Amino acid sequence: MKKKNIHVIVIIVATIVMSIGLALIAKDVKDAVIDMNNPQTYRLSLQYNGMIVLLVLMVVLIVSHAIKLYEHTPDMYKYDLPLALKNEYAEKVTLQQEKNRLYAAIIQALYSEYEIMYFAETETEDYLKYSVRSEDGLLWLDKHGRYFFTEIYRYLMKRADKSDLSRLSRAIKKENVLSELSDKGVLTVKFTSSKVGLTGYYMIKAVYFANKKSGHIVVGIKNITSSIQDENEYKEAVGQAIEMAVIDDLTGVKNRNAYVKHENELTVAAENDENIKFAIVILDVNGLKRVNDTMGHKAGDMLLRDAAKLICDVYKGNSIYRIGGDEFAVILMDDAYDNRDALLEEFRGRVTENMDSGAVTIASGLAVFQVETDIGAENVFERADAAMYLNKREMKNILVQKEEEQKAAKD
C-alpha cells in the first residue's frame, strides 16, 4: 500500500475517533445536567444532540479539506517522496530564480537606454513587457501575454507614422526577425513618429537572449531623436572640417591635399579604364616674389586672389587647385576636356590683355593623358608643368621686347 493512502486512512480514523470522543463527552454532560422527566431539560437534551451533530460535521469538513490540500501539495514538500524527485523540483525552482535574476540584471543595465523592453520566447511567443514609469523613470513589468509578434505590431500601429508601417510590418515578421538574427546576430529597425507627445525618431533592436539555442529574444525600443540630431550635427561638423582641410583659405579654391587625392584617383582609374580621358593645366603667377618684397605680403595675397579669380572665370565648373605658393592646377574632364584648346586660348588671351594693362599675368601649360605611354596622372602633370615653363619664357621674352620698344621710343 502506498504511503499516501496510509496517510488518508490515518486521517479518516482520527476523524472517527474524534467524533466518538465528542459524543461521549457530550453524553456525560447531558447525563449530569438533564432530567428526561423535566420538559425544560428535555429541550436542552435536543439542543445538545444538535450540537454534537454540528461538531461532527465540522470536523469531517475540516479533515476533508486537509486531504485535498495534501493531494495538491507539490512533491517537493511531501516528506515521503524520494530524495531525487525533491532535488529535481528544487533544481527547476532554482533555474527559474536564476533566470529571473538574469532578466533583472539585464533590465538594470539597459533601462537607462531603452524605454520599452520585451523578453519573448520564439516558439510559444510568450512575452514579458517592461516599460519606463513616468514618476520615477524606472522599468517595471507592464504586461505579459502570448503572441509577441502581434503585440509588437500593435505597438507600432499606435506609434509609427503610416508611411513606415508597410516597411515595419515586413521587418518585424517572425520569419524575418529570426532570419536576421540567425544571419547577423542583431536586428535593427528605425522609424519615425509624428503622433502627439511621441514626435521623434525611434529604434527597435532585437538580439538573442544568451544565444540562439536559448529560444528567447530581447527586444528594446528607444527614442533616438537626440542621437539623430547629434549625428546630423556631427556629420555637418565633419563635413565642414573636411571642406576646411581641402580648401585654400586665401583663394577659396581647393588645396594641394585635394589635388593629390584627385590625382591618385585618376591614376587608379587609368589602370582600370583604357578609355579614360583627362587633361591637366598647370598655371604659375608671375612676379609674386617681387610684389611681396617691394609691396608687402598683403599686396602679394591680393595678387594671388586676382589670379584665382581669373582662373575661375575661364575654367569655371572644373576642379581648380592651388598646389603651391604661386602655382595652380586645373583638371579637365568631359566637356572641358573636349574644349581644352579653346579654353587655353581664351585664358592666354586674357593674360595678354593684362600684360598691356599691368594686371595679374599667369603662365600656363596643358598636357593630355596618353594611354599608350602614361602610367598615371603624374606623367601628365610633369608634361603640363614643362609646357607652363615654356610659356613663362615666352611671356618673359615678350615683356623684354616690350620694354626695349618702350625704351627705344623714349630715345
Domain assignment of residue 12, given as a range: 3-72
Domain for residue 294, yes or no?
A: yes
pLDDT band at 137 (very low <50, low <70, confident <90, very high): low
- Tally of structural domains, the chain: 3
Residues 217 and 255 in one domain: no
* pLDDT, position 47: 59
Report percent pLDDT > 70 for the chain: 65
User: Above 60 in pLDDT, residue 30?
Assistant: no
Are 137 and 67 within one domain? Answer: no
Whole-number pLDDT of residue 331? 95
Least confident of 182-186, 226-230, 264-268, 341-345: 226-230
Verify that 404 and 261 share a domain, yes or no.
yes
Q: Can you tell me the distance from the alpha carbon of 46 to that of 30, in angstroms, rounded to the nearest whole number?
A: 10
b/e string for 134-159 if b means 16 or more Cβ within 10 A? eeeeebeeeeeeeebbebbbebbeeb
Largest Cα–Cα separation, the chain: 178
Rg (CA), the chain: 48
Whether residue 117 is predicted with pLDDT greater than 90 in this model: the reply is: no
> Are both 65 and 163 inside the same structural domain?
no
Which of the listed ranges 7-21, 174-188, 383-397 does the model predict with the highest average pLDDT?
Answer: 383-397
Residue 81 has pLDDT above 50, yes or no: no
Tell me what pLDDT residue 404 has.
Answer: 73
Which range, of 74-88, 231-245, 338-352, averages the lowest pLDDT? 74-88
**More confident call, 5 vs 360:** 360
On whether both 343 and 201 belong to a single domain, the answer is no
Residues 336 and 291 in one domain: yes
Task: Answer whether residue 85 is part of any domain.
Answer: no
Task: Please check whether residue 88 lies inside any domain of the structure.
Answer: no
Confidence of residue 199 (pLDDT cuts 50, 70, 90): confident
What is the mean pLDDT of the segment spanning 32-48?
52
Residue 242 belongs to some domain of the structure: no
H helix runs in 322-376, sequence order:
334-338, 340-357
Residue 137 and residue 18 in one domain = no
Q: Residue 1 CA to chain centroid, in angstroms?
A: 66
Instruction: Give Cα 243 to chain centroid, integer Å.
Output: 27
98 assigned to some structural domain: no
β-sheet bridge partners, residue 327: 284
Same-domain check for residues 361 and 388: yes
In the predicted model, is pLDDT for residue 84 greater than 50?
Answer: no
Spatial distance between the Cα atoms of 243 and 247, rounded to a whole number of angstroms: 6
Q: Considering 166, 199, 228, which residue would you say is the last residue of a domain?
A: 228
Where residue 179 falls (left for φ over 0; alpha for ψ -120 to 50; beta otherwise) is alpha
- Tell me: do 176 and 212 sit in the same domain: yes
Return the minimum-mean-pLDDT range out of 11-15, 90-94, 265-269.
90-94
Confidence check: pLDDT of 40 > 70: no
pLDDT beyond 90 at 382: yes
For the cut 80, the answer to whether the pLDDT of residue 186 exceeds it is yes
Mean pLDDT of the chain: 77
**Stated pTM of the model:** 0.45
For residue 314, the domain's CATH number is: 3.30.70.270
The DSSP call for residue 100 is: H
pLDDT over threshold 60, residue 374 = yes
C-alpha cell at 357: 594693362
Predicted pLDDT at 140: 74
Evaluate whether residue 293 is within a structural domain. yes
Same domain, 120 and 210: yes
Please give the average per-residue pLDDT across 289-300, as a whole number.
91
Q: Is residue 96 assigned to a domain?
A: no
Residues 228-250 have a mean pLDDT of 70
Would you state the pLDDT for residue 82? Answer: 42
Report if residue 252 sits inside a domain. Answer: yes
Co-location of 216 and 68 in the same domain? no
Domain containing residue 204: CATH number: 3.30.450
Same domain, 277 and 405: yes
Query: Per-residue pLDDT tens for 322-353?
Result: 998 899 999 999 999 999 999 999 999 999 99
pLDDT classification of 184: cutoffs 50, 70, 90: confident
